[in-house]
Amino acid sequence: MNQHRSPRLAVGVVAMTVTLLCASGSVQAQAWTPAQGEGTVSVQFQEAFVKYHQLPTVRLDRGHIRGKTLLVDFTFGITDQLAVSVSLPWVASKYNGSRPHQLPIDDGSYHSTFQDLRFDIRYNISKKGLVVTPFVGTILPSHGYEYFAHSAVGRNVRELQVGANWASLLDPMLPGLFLQGRYSYGFAERIFDISHNRSNLDLEVGYFVKPEFRVFALGSGQLTHGGVDLNGNSILTLGPILYPHHDRIARDNILNVGAGAAYDLTDSFGLYGSVIRTVAGRNVHALEYSLTVGASWSFTTAHARTRSSRSGLAQSRSDARSGVLARCVCQKGK
């Protein structure tokens, strides 16, 4: 099997299948952790459209895929430095084309189910200047859903992820400018003893137009370590045993770019949206576009309110600015 790497794709994002490519409205960086007893609930909807398959880097029209994803995410601060997040997407997708993998799932109608349960725990080690928060997370299929189909909702692969979130206000350069990102390395379940671990890198550059309103540019990429290349005759080159698993074992590298905006209607409720597009890839369903809109609500438990009341601390002007960014990261990050 050819194991060479594409140098122009040496940056790495979550590239599961069409419907979960960049399922977040913003980069999944959560460098700031909520205070103890505080948390957020986010709900977002994504509409995605795939026009081309890249096999391995040549774009071929093998039919079109549409996907709709509804994602619910819950984040909670156990301590001021330790936080946990859990999320579960519901996905509906359909394939229109003359080359279905199998019927009835590729019959041109929407098929829907829950996808993968995601859980992570992160610990903040630096809160001033460059904020750094390492994490450990898991991706676990919610059930044994179908993975061999153009319109499959996911790969049905277990994965352990380790990495770090980071962020920084760049006020010395331009007041209101910020940069945040996330790197992760995923230890993916081997399929037929084929290694296909992956590195993911997400970046966001943003600007606070007002304290409650920000705009941002996104970049996200994935580099798979191992896996196999696909081509127009993969059904023959992989054979009848491996071919049904080709999406699970592919060397899927990808680079997506996009932009978006977020607006806080109140201190505890905000809206956000983004659009992304695949600009380079290998062995992937290339996104013609992916549009995401969402809302998030932050809450404070009685214990947290008591702690805050006892401390009697008032935020300085700079602290308030950091708080706005922290709120955006935690609420809009998933």
Q: 62, 11 in Cβ contact below 8 A?
A: no
Name the percent of the chain lying above pLDDT 90.
74
Q: 18, 286 in Cβ contact below 8 A?
A: no
pTM of the model: 0.83
Q: Number of C-alpha atoms within 13 angstroms, CB side, residue 91?
A: 30
In one letter, which amino acid is 163?
G
Mean per-residue pLDDT over the chain, rounded = 84
| Length of the chain measured in residues | 334
CA 85 to chain centre: 13
Q: Number of C-alpha atoms within 13 angstroms, CB side, residue 29?
A: 29
Alpha carbons 47 and 69: distance in angstroms, whole number: 7
Q: Which of 212, 219, 218, 202 is nearest to 176 (CA)?
A: 212
Chain position carrying tokens 């040496």: 10
**What's residue 307's pLDDT?**
54
DSSP string for 45-103: EEEEEEEEEESSSSEE---EEEEEEEEEEEEEESSSSEEEEEEEEEEEEEEESS--SST
CA 262 to chain centre: 17
**What's residue 31's pLDDT?**
87
Helix intervals (H) in the chain: 234-237, 239-242, 246-249, 302-311, 317-332
Alpha carbons 239 and 260: distance in angstroms, whole number: 43
Chain position carrying tokens 């998933």: 334
**What's residue 10's pLDDT?**
36
**What's residue 243's pLDDT?**
94
Tens digit of each residue's pLDDT (9 = 90 or more) over 34-69: 999 999 999 999 999 999 999 999 999 999 999 999
Domains and CATH numbers, the chain: 7-332 (2.40.160.40)
Q: What HEC string does 41-56 produce? A: EEEEEEEEEEEEEECC
**What's residue 306's pLDDT?**
57
Mean pLDDT in each 10-residue stretch from start to end of the chain (334 residues)?
40 34 43 91 95 92 95 94 95 94 93 96 91 96 95 95 94 88 96 96 94 94 95 90 94 96 93 95 94 94 60 34 37 28
